Amino acid sequence: PYMAKLACIHATTRDLDSFRLALERIEACGADQDQFTQFDMEFHVQLALCSRNPLMLKVYQQINAVRANAQWNRIKRVILTPEKIGAYNVQHRAIYDALRHRDVNGAVDQITAHLGLARQDLLGAEGE
């Protein structure tokens, strides 16, 4: 959420254009789990870049490194149904819209909801 707040405050027009392109790529991947994962990582890196905070970017790059391991590949096969990808993309669009409108509270609320859903899905997949 803090990264989204910083992104709302510091993103340049060029940053937002790159963020929009990342959003368009993730929305265009359809139900392809591998493409979704790749573009989801790009989307969140673009959010970190929008924050203009090098530490935030480094933290998110480390998160992406964890997502590249075999355990994530197993989990994503369970989690990333076409419906779930669609739900995540609705949230991605809402995050982008909040940033574009410089709506700090909206961006924080949207990313909090997005991370909450992802956390819930990850915890639910551990038992499967």
What are the structure tokens assigned to 84, written together? 């779930």
Q: Tokens representing 32?
A: 């392809």
The pLDDT tens digits for 26-58 are 999 999 999 999 999 999 999 999 999 999 999
Longest CA pairwise span in the chain (Å) = 43
| pTM (global) more than 0.75 | yes
- Using a pLDDT cut of 70, give the percent of the chain over it: 98
DSSP string, 33-100: HHHHHHHHHHHHHHHHHHHT-HHHHHHHHHHHHHHTSHHHHHHHHHH--HHHHHHHHHHHHHHHHHHH
Report the percent of the chain where pLDDT is more than 90: 80
> Residue 101 in 3-state DSSP?
coil
